[in-house]
Amino acid sequence: LAMHIYLINIYMHYVQILGYKSEALLKLHKQEEAEVVCTEALKLEASLWKLGVVPADSFLHMLRAHIEMSLGR
């Protein structure tokens, strides 16, 4: 059980790191790369939802909205 919790914690941090990477790419005006990284983070977050782990914030969704706006969608 402790190992399971540890692995979930690692995945949660990895999702957050991908979000930060996507945000940095967006600030560097690399919108397409930011979109790819953000999409990957959202997929990992969705897999955590399936395990019953609910993320604490909406950072990725706000970031996704910024990416969509910068791409003109």
Q: Tens-digit pLDDT profile for the chain (73 aa)?
A: 788 888 888 888 999 999 999 999 999 999 999 999 999 999 998 888 888 877 767 899 999 999 999 999 8
This prediction's pTM: 0.85
Rounded-to-10 torsion of CA 37, 51, 55, 66 = 30
One-letter identity of residue 14 = Y
Angle at 58 between CA 14 and CA 8, to 5 degrees: 35
